Chain A
Amino acid sequence: GAVVSQHPSRVICKSGTSVKIECRSLDFQATTMFWYRQFPKQSLMLMATSNEGSKATYEQGVEKDKFLINHASLTLSTLTVTSAHPEDSSFYICSARDWPDTQYFGPGTRLTVL
């Protein structure tokens, strides 16, 4: 199957700092990528849909100014958590959509905000 990478896999930061997470589709072009958040023993919660060359679409309740998403190319989307606070600590997972429907997920990024 197609491969999606995420970097970093784990990050620890101080409260108030910003953290950038990269999501790359390695062997296919993805016009659409998605960002999810997952709490322990829970399902995936869609945060936003990222389309190459256009603004991301955020789900209700997700602060677009806190979670900045950029989809600059067909293989790269980034999520920046700005002014991170301990409540932002979570497991963040991206996915990339390969034509026509299949979503391939990255390995996830564990964010811990102290």
Chain B
Amino acid sequence: QQQVKQSPQSLIVQKGGISIINCAYENTAFDYFPWYQQFPGKGPALLIAIRPDVSEKKEGRFTISFNKSAKQFSLHIMDSQPGDSATYFCAASITGSARQLTFGSGTQLTVLP
């Protein structure tokens, strides 16, 4: 019940295209959903995060869409660039004393020039 399932495992997109990564969860107690970007040999960097009280959040080229009833959320990267090539992780946490993150398995995005 603590799992967050992420798909696809890998994604190849042409420059200028839209990259879409999906995540699904089971635990309805999750109330914070961040996305992280990780380059090889580096730590994850926070991209954008959302809470269940909104259905969409946009920051620059990155948008999170959230569907509470379906228990799904997705990351959309508009106008994808080669520099966006990285591994993306979705995550979820429950408000509480520790607020540990439960991570998805990751999506390796390659944007072709």
19 further interface pairs, Cβ-Cβ under 8 Å (given A32-B98, A34-B100): A32-B99, A41-B108, A43-B103, A43-B105, A44-B44, A46-B100, A49-B98, A93-B44, A95-B43, A95-B101, A97-B99, A100-B95, A101-B34, A101-B95, A105-B36, A105-B43, A105-B44, A108-B42, A110-B41
Task: Name the B residues within 8 Å of A41 (CB-CB).
Answer: 106, 108
Q: How large is the interface on B (under 10, 10 to 19, 20 to 34, 35 or more residues)?
A: 20 to 34
Contacts of B100 in A (CB 8 A): 34, 46, 49
Distance, CA A41 to CA B89, complexed state (A): 12
The answer to whether residues A108 and B41 also contact, given A49-B98, A100-B95, A101-B93 and a CB cut-off of 8 A, is yes
The interface on chain A, measured as residues whose beta carbon lies within 8 A of the other chain's beta carbons, has a size of 26
